[in-house]
Amino acid sequence: MNQKYHVFSLGNALVDVEIEITAKELDRLSIEKGVMTLVEEERHDYLLSELHGKAHHRASGGSAANSIFALAQLGGKGYHCCKVANDEAGQFYASDLNQAGVDNNIATLKDNTGITGKCLVMVTPDADRTMNTYLGISSEQQADDLDTEALANSEFLYIEGYLVTSESNHKTALKAKEIAREKGAKIAYTLSDPNMVKFFKPQIEQVLDGGVELLFCNEDEALEFTQTSSYSEALEQLKSLAQQVVITLGERGAVYFDGKELHQIDAFEVKAIDSNGAGDMFAGAFLYALTQGYSAANCGKLASFCSSYLVTQFGPRLKGGAIETIQNFNQELQAS
Tens of pLDDT, residue by residue over 165-204, are 999 999 999 999 999 999 999 999 999 999 999 999 999 9
Distance from chain centroid for Cα 120? 16
Whether 121 maps to a domain, the answer reads no
pLDDT of 56 reads: 83
Predicted confidence band at 91 (pLDDT cuts at 50, 70, 90)?
A: very high
Whether 22 maps to a domain, the answer reads no
Whether 45 maps to a domain, the answer reads no
CATH number of the domain within which 246 lies = 3.40.1190.20
- Mean pLDDT computed over 308-313: 86
Predicted confidence band at 1 (pLDDT cuts at 50, 70, 90)?
A: low
The tally of domains found in the chain comes to: 1
Whether 173 maps to a domain, the answer reads yes
In terms of Cα–Cα distance, which of 213, 211, 243, 217 is closest to 231? 217
Whether 93 maps to a domain, the answer reads yes
| Residues sharing a CB contact under 8 Å with residue 151, sequence separation 6 or more, in sequence order | 8, 79, 81, 157, 176, 179, 180, 183, 185
| Residues sharing a CB contact under 8 Å with residue 325, sequence separation 6 or more, in sequence order | 309, 318
Whether 53 maps to a domain, the answer reads no
In terms of Cα–Cα distance, which of 204, 307, 318, 293 is closest to 254? 307
- DSSP for 87-113, written as a single string: SHHHHHHHHHHHHTT-EESGGG-S---
pLDDT of 316 reads: 79
Q: What range does the domain containing 242 cover?
A: 5-12+63-114+139-335
pLDDT of 3 reads: 85
Tens of pLDDT, residue by residue over 144-164, are 999 999 999 999 999 999 999
Tens of pLDDT, residue by residue over 58-68, are 889 999 999 99
- Mean pLDDT computed over 47-51: 91
Average pLDDT, the chain: 94
Whether 119 maps to a domain, the answer reads no
Please state, for a pLDDT cut of 90, what percent of the chain lies above it.
Answer: 84
Predicted confidence band at 312 (pLDDT cuts at 50, 70, 90)?
A: confident
pLDDT of 96 reads: 94
- Mean pLDDT computed over 250-263: 95
Strands 212-218 and 242-248: parallel
Q: Enter the pTM of the model.
A: 0.93
- Mean pLDDT computed over 32-37: 93
Whether 309 maps to a domain, the answer reads yes
Highest mean pLDDT among 109-123, 206-220, 304-318: 206-220
